[in-house]
Structure 1
Amino acid sequence: MSLLLVWQYLFSPAFFQGALMTLLLTVCSLFFGIITGLILALLQESRFKAGTVLAFGYLWLFRGTPVLFQIIFVYNVLPTFGLRFSAFTCAVLALSLNEGAYMAEILRSGLQAVRRGQRTAGMALGMTQRQIMQKIVLPQAARIVLPPMGNQMISMLKSSALVSVIAVQELLLIANQTASASFRYFEALCAAGIYYLVLTSIFMVGQAWLERSLDPKKRRKPALSLTERLQQSSAAPH
């Protein structure tokens, strides 16, 4: 074990670029996954039978097969239909499709948690369905779905390591290649583990900040204690 070697790996350009690739994969997959999940959640809430059937089929397919299978399928099968993409694009596509299935259930639970009486009240005020969704439903649903979405984001960050099977130069692949060349697996994997912990910590801090920002109770200024009020009154000019 060499702590100096771990330190060198941490600040090496290869590991830093691998961490950036992991972060880029996670952010892109989450972005498209959330959009896909929101569309599926709205389809499940719609009155159209075809939309609910389509959403159910999507969830059945992508929740019923492993994400590793989906990555390999997208990378190896799509070219047979004339659809050729880079390894990075295939990785984002597969992760986004998989993430969309789980985000759909999270977002659907948030939409259903908003009482229908509030929607009826919005209609009584003359608001359109779009206005009701933007100003009443989505702000309340966002506070409800944020904690499970945060957990899903961290899970996506760790699942991004699976794309190493299609040779995307993300963090785990860089660590494995470095260890294979020097046979210093402990040091290389420790450096990669530290990067993963730093990235997940950033996501956790961001989630806590968003939860505080969206919660009106936490945004309120706390009431002054009796001692503080007495100090303010005594300091005020007479």
Structure 2
Amino acid sequence: MDLEQWKLILSSAVASFPVLIKAAPITIGFALAAMLLGLPLALLVALTRLYGPRPLRSLAALYVSFIRGTPLLVQIFMIYYGLPSLGVTLNPITGGILALTLNAGAYLSETIRAAIESIHKGQHEAAYSLGLNRRQVMQLIVLPQAARVALPSMGNSLIGLVKDTSLVSVITVVELLRSAQLVIARTFEPFGPYLMAALIYWFISSLLELVQRSMERRLARGVAR
């Protein structure tokens, strides 16, 4: 590859930046929406698997197994292209967020379940001996400690969601990757826009990683005190 080709690639990357940076908030929005909606779902699934009746535990375990055992892309296709055959039609944004939420909920539930199980049973028994009921024990004793344990994994899940949002481009959501594809369709130069998209993904992920580390340090100081 000669110098002129590199100049062409760099110029196309720079030229694509204004278009791609406008799509970055959409990518971040999808990831945050899936995370915020997925966390309550994950908590419900985790508590169901730990303390729910046997039929519900089995149903929750089946949900987690199915989501973790199938590709996210297939899940997106099932929701966006498959549900209309059952009479349920979703627009691309709703379908994409729903697929990402269901996926995140399954993975986060395992993180939360493991974090809850890591809290020593003696703390449960001590809280019960003080007259607290199960809800109070979970709310006041277990979940605050489990949140500290789960934070690093949840931060990693959010970073993963940012990258997973690229898959909703297949259902015409104009997020970061789809914007790069639209630029390429006009310029017929693929490397530059894809390179710029990769750099923006990298920047977002690195920024989230810094936020995650900052939160971990604050929690560590709080525990030390």
Alignment RMSD: 1.6
> Does the 8 Å CA contact 1:213/1:219 hold for their aligned counterparts?
no
Instruction: Determine the structure 1 residue equivalent to 2:171.
Output: 166
CA distance in 1, matches of 2:48, 2:62: 12
Confirm or deny that 1:113 pairs with 2:118.
Answer: yes
Confirm or deny that 1:175 pairs with 2:193.
Answer: no
Structure 1 moving runs of 4+ over 6 Å: none
CA distance in 2, matches of 1:111, 1:218: 17
2:13 to 6, 12, 15: 6
Confirm or deny that 1:64 pairs with 2:69.
Answer: yes
Alignment of 1:88-103 (within 5 A): 88-103=93-108
Q: Which has the larger radius of gyration?
A: 1
CA distance in 2, matches of 1:126, 1:213: 32
1:211 CA displacement: 0.9
What amino acid sits opposite 2:168 in the alignment? Answer: V
Instruction: Determine the structure 2 residue equivalent to 1:22.
Output: 27
1:202 CA displacement: 1.6
1:216 CA displacement: 3.8
1:106 CA displacement: 0.7
> Does the 8 Å CA contact 1:179/1:188 hold for their aligned counterparts?
yes
1:32 to 32, 37, 41: 37
CA distance in 2, matches of 1:179, 1:113: 49
CA distance in 1, matches of 2:89, 2:97: 14
Instruction: Determine the structure 1 residue equivalent to 2:203.
Output: 198
1:155 to 138, 142, 160: 160
219 and 114 in structure 1: CA distance in 2 versus 1, 3 angstrom threshold? closer
CA distance in 1, matches of 2:84, 2:12: 41
What amino acid sits opposite 1:88 in the alignment? Answer: I
1:184 CA displacement: 1.9
> Does the 8 Å CA contact 1:212/1:218 hold for their aligned counterparts?
no
DSSP-derived class of the 1:83 partner: coil
Aligned residues: 218
1:135 to 129, 132, 140: 140
> Does the 8 Å CA contact 2:111/2:154 hold for their aligned counterparts?
yes
The answer to which of 177-186 and 24-33 deviates more is: 177-186
Higher relative contact order (CA 8 A, sep 6+): 2
1:47 CA displacement: 4.5
1:101 CA displacement: 1.1
1:78 CA displacement: 1.3
Instruction: Determine the structure 2 residue equivalent to 1:188.
Output: 193
169 and 48 in structure 1: CA distance in 2 versus 1, 3 angstrom threshold? same
For structure 2, the residue ranges without an aligned partner over 5 or more in a row are 1-5
